[in-house]
Amino acid sequence: MKVIISGGGTGGHLYPALAIGRAFREKGAEILYIGSDYGIEKNIMPNEEFRYELLPVKALRNKNIFVLTKNAYLVLKSFQQAKRIVAGFQPDLIVGTGGYASFPVLRAGAKLGVKTMLHEANAEMGKANQQLAAFADCLCLTYTDTAKYVKDAKKIILTGMPVRESIKTAVRDDGAAYVGIDDDTLLVTITGGSQGAHHINMAMADYYKTYREKKKVLFYHIVGKMNKDDAALLSYPFVRVREYEQKMDSVLARTDICIGRAGASFLAEIAVKGVPAILVPYPFSNGHQEKNAAYYDGKGAAKMVLDAALKDKLAPALDRLIEDEPYRRQMGEKMRGEARGDALQRIVDAGWALIKE
C-alpha cells in the first residue's frame, strides 16, 4: 500500500501530517510526504525519515494584486507538478492535514481518482480544507461543531487530534521528579509555544509583582526563544524560568494549571492530561485559535482570556483557579472529557477503510 501525506506551511499542519504518516507506515504502508518549498517543512523534512517532495505553492492571503497574481500562478504550477508526482507514485490514499501546501495535492489526487481524506484540527475549518471538503472521500474532524462549515462532504468522522505518545504515557511522579517537586506544591505552567508569547510574559510579570503566596505554588514559566530577554522581569523565588522546554511531556504530567495559547495540538495535549487552563488565543491566527478557545470555554474545560484583555482579566482568572480547588478539579475533569487519546488510530482506521472500499 502507498499513502501520500500532505499538509504544511506551519507546524500546526506539518506535525499532525508526520504523525499520521508514521502511523500508516507502522501498518506497512509506503509513505511520500508532499509540502511547500516556502513552509517550515523545507527546513524540517531533510531531518525526517520520509521521502518527500516540495511544491512552489504559496498562500493566497496577500492583498497586493501583483503578489496575489503571482501566487495564483504558483498554485496552478504546483497543481500540475502534484498531478505528475501523484501519477508517478500511484498512491492508494492521499491524506491532507490542511494549509496551502495540501491544496494542490488533494485536488490533483481527486482529479486522478485517488481516494482522499482530510483532517481538520481546528474548531473553525481552514480555507484550504473548506475548498477541498467537497472533493474528499472522508473528512476527519477534531470538533463536532466544525461540521457546520461543510456543505457536501461524502463522509464525516469525529476522530480528534493526534497526540504524541510520550504525552499520553507520561505520569505525574515522573513529571514531579523532572521538575523537582516532592510534595503537594501546585504547579502552574505558562507557555506561549516554542517561540513564546511576549504579551503573556508581560502580563505574568505584572502578576508576579503583586503575588502573595497563600499556598505552595511554583510557576513554571517558559518564555520562548523569541522572548528570552523577558526572563529578566520574571526573577522571583516562586518562579522557575525556562527559555525553551524539550520535556513538555514530563512538565504537563505534573502540571495542575496551565496558561497558554489555543493551538489545536496544545489543546489536545492538555485535554489528554486533564489540565485546567487559561487559554489566550493568538490574535493573528485568522480567528482559528479564538474559536478553539471559545469551544473549551463553552464546555467549562478552560477559561478564555483574549490577548487584549490580559491586563484586566488574567489575574482574577488565575487567582480563582489557584484558590478554588473544587472549581479547578471540575474544570480539569471537563478538560479530560474532551480528550481523544485514540485519535491517531481512528484516523488510520478511517484511511484503511477507504483503501479497502
pLDDT digits (tens, 9 = 90+) for 281-307: 999 877 889 999 999 999 999 999 999
138: Cβ contacts below 8 Å, ≥ 6 apart: 116, 117, 118, 154, 155, 156, 157, 350, 351, 354
Average pLDDT estimate for 51-61:
84
The whole-number pLDDT of residue 195 equals 67
Partners of residue 112 on adjacent β-strands: none
At 38, is the pLDDT very low, low, confident or very high (cuts 50, 70, 90)?
Answer: confident
Task: Give CA–CA dist 117/354, Å, rounded.
Answer: 8
Query: Taking the CA atoms of the chain, what radius of gyration do you get in angstroms?
Result: 21
Task: Give CA–CA dist 53/200, Å, rounded.
Answer: 37
The whole-number pLDDT of residue 306 equals 97
Q: Which of 37, 72, 352 is nearest to 46 (CA)?
A: 37
The whole-number pLDDT of residue 285 equals 78
Q: Which of 53-62, 128-137, 227-236, 322-331 has the highest mean pLDDT?
A: 322-331
Give pLDDT tens digits for 83-118: 999 999 999 999 999 888 899 999 999 999 999 999
At 129, is the pLDDT very low, low, confident or very high (cuts 50, 70, 90)?
Answer: confident
Return the minimum-mean-pLDDT range out of 14-18, 68-72, 73-77.
68-72
pLDDT of 60 strictly over 70: no
The whole-number pLDDT of residue 124 equals 87
Range list of H helices, the chain: 11-26, 41-44, 65-89, 103-111, 127-132, 165-169, 172-179, 198-210, 248-254, 264-273, 288-298, 310-323, 325-337, 343-356
pLDDT of 246 strictly over 90: no
Task: Tell me the three cell numbers of residue 290.
Answer: 479564538
The whole-number pLDDT of residue 198 equals 95
At 145, is the pLDDT very low, low, confident or very high (cuts 50, 70, 90)?
Answer: confident
pLDDT of 248 strictly over 60: yes
Q: Give 159-195 as a DSSP string.
A: ------HHHHH--HHHHHHHHT--S--EEEEEE--TT
The whole-number pLDDT of residue 99 equals 83
pLDDT of 127 strictly over 80: no
Q: Which of 149, 152, 104 is nearest to 122 (CA)?
A: 149
pLDDT, mean over the chain: 91
The whole-number pLDDT of residue 312 equals 95
Give pLDDT tens digits for 4-21: 999 988 877 888 999 999
Task: Tell me the three cell numbers of residue 239.
Answer: 518562579
Average pLDDT estimate for 142-151:
84
How is residue 37 annotated by DSSP?
T
Average pLDDT estimate for 215-234:
92
Give pLDDT tens digits for 177-218: 999 998 999 999 999 876 679 999 999 999 999 998 878 999
pLDDT of 62 strictly over 60: no
Cβ atoms of 89 and 2 within 8 Å: the answer is yes
